[in-house]
Amino acid sequence: MTETADPLVLDFVEWVAREPRVYPEVVATWRTSCPRLTIWEDAADRGYVTREAIAGFGLVVTVTDDGEKFLREHGRVS
């Protein structure tokens, strides 16, 4: 399953890199009913994105330094 998930993880990290996303937007946009496709959870587990509380915004998902490196390594500079 990793071969299928990696391009989706890359797409997800690139999407988040465009601008920080509020947690509800991430959940709504990247929701799946397939328990084997946990794209945004995979990205978080690999350290490519993180969740942080920001006053006035709530819980926000942002790209980490490792996520930026992941994008550069795959030709997708944010």
In CATH terms, 2-73 corresponds, of 1.10.10.10, 3.40.50.150, 3.40.190.10, 2.60.90.10, to 1.10.10.10
Query: How do residues 2-18 score in pLDDT, each as one tens digit?
Result: 544 589 899 999 999 99
Give one DSSP letter per residue of the chain, joined into a string.
Answer: -HHHHHHHHHHHHHHHHHS-EEHHHHHHHS--S-TT--HHHHHHHTTSEEEEEETTTEEEEEE-HHHHHHHHHTT---
| Res. 65: pLDDT tops 70 | yes
- What's the predicted TM-score (pTM) here? 0.83
Place of tokens 């915004």: 57
Residue 68, H or E segment: helix 65-73
Range 31-38 contact pairs with CB under 8 angstroms and sequence separation of 24 or more: 36/1, 37/5, 37/8
